[in-house]
Amino acid sequence: MDIDDLNLTDERMGLPEKTYSIKAEEGLIGSIFLKPKIMSEILEIVNEEDFYKGSHKILFNEMKKAHENGKIIEVLVIVELLKKNNILEEVGGEDTIYDFTEVVSTAANATTYARIIKEKSIQRQLIDVGEEIIKLSQNSYSSIEKIIDDAEKKIFEISKKKQHQDIIRVAELADQKIKLLDEYQNSTSELSGIPTGYFAFDQMTGGLHGSDLMILAARPAMGKTAFALNLAISVAKQNKHVLVYSLEMGNEQLFDRILSIMARIRLKSLKDNMLKKEEMFKMGEIFGEITEMPLYISDSASVNMMELKSTARRLKSEGKLDFLLIDYLQLISPQEGYRKSREQEISEISRSLKLLAKELNIPILTLSQLSRGVEQRNDKRPMLSDLRESGAIEQDADLVMFLYRDSYYKKNNFDDEEQDETSDDSSGSNANSSEGNEKGEEVELIIGKHRSGPIGTIKLSFEASYQQFLNIKDEQHLPPSE
């Protein structure tokens, strides 16, 4: 970082002494001169922007550049670099540099100094955010929702205790990749992401990955809520924290479905509270496992993006969010005061979900509707152009999946176009429903977009009575590996 790019405004009047420590900054710089090899460890804790004193920022920045270029961090080298860049006087001259070598007698406390500097830096950042919030609050042109959202985002970024980098050296990315590959080599799992339990899907995608926005779309009664819950349960069973936002169903309905999937009890029996003795026994057995799973549910009927982001950030900061499921995208309310077309609203929601996945580094799966245009074609398999209301959904998503049940169309003549468009309850009152059918129906999981891999069709078995999606072991159904 060049000196012109450094933020030297921390050294300013009015800040309480508790928000900086000149002695810790001097101690750290002196420690590095005594033991240059410690620089790699120090850079994992602080960077030049964490220093309070402007001259210390400049000096540490030059020391970091020397380290990155493979040069030895010693006084003579740093003095020559400062002279070459005409900034020696900016740090107090040559004598000041030599003085740092006498500040400490050992480098043993270097990481302690670094942590103190980082804590003080975070304090100052919080003060800056507080001042920004005050200014925004006094600005009548900003909505309250936007002010709260901006404030939460800034505080969440600070809570991660690392500086956001818009620009990053390729060398740093290489280091990150090597660490990731080492972790992968030492892992017992063959997948780079979170396994779903669906072998063909995992083979195709490598599992669920952080920062990915995934869309699962289908016409009503295809079983998209059931499939999404199967995924959520599979992830939660691996002791990963899962949050399910159900904007259509209440908590009790959702719990019935989870219980049906896990205990293999007919969903209709649970709805009607008509359980046989053996089903009661199975339910009791599964309760212990359910209570141990880190699975959370919110059945807010009118959540907006600001509320959703706020909850997700809070859970993530508490270490309680690894996977977010939203049922479904079109039911997310726009922010209060947002007055645009429905297509623009959906585009904004879609983009916000992608940014949230990236910000929190978690996979987000949201369900979505398809347009009725599917019903007008002879081949009713969905395609990307069928995504309802906005092409931005396709653009923002890393993975777009469709569910298709050929058996559903064979049993229905499409006379019931008045059915509730928002219903995905494949076990409802429809007489042609597969509820009660013990035999699994073949379902196609069509991957129509995959930003990081192949597309294709995966065949699964759906047992509607139990809301379960199961693997089909026949190898002919596995998509070709890339």
- As annotated, the active-site residues are 248
Alpha carbons 94 and 75: distance in angstroms, whole number: 9
Q: How far from the centroid of its chain's Cα atoms is residue 359's Cα?
A: 6
Is-contact 163 154, C-beta < 8 A? Answer: no
Location of structure tokens 């596995």 = 478
The Cβ of residue 400 has, within 10 Å, a number of other Cβ atoms equal to 25
Distance CA 314, CA 306 (A): 12
CA distances from residue 321 to 81, 243, 262, 329 in whole angstroms, order as listed: 46, 7, 21, 19
DSSP lists the bridge partners of residue 177 as none
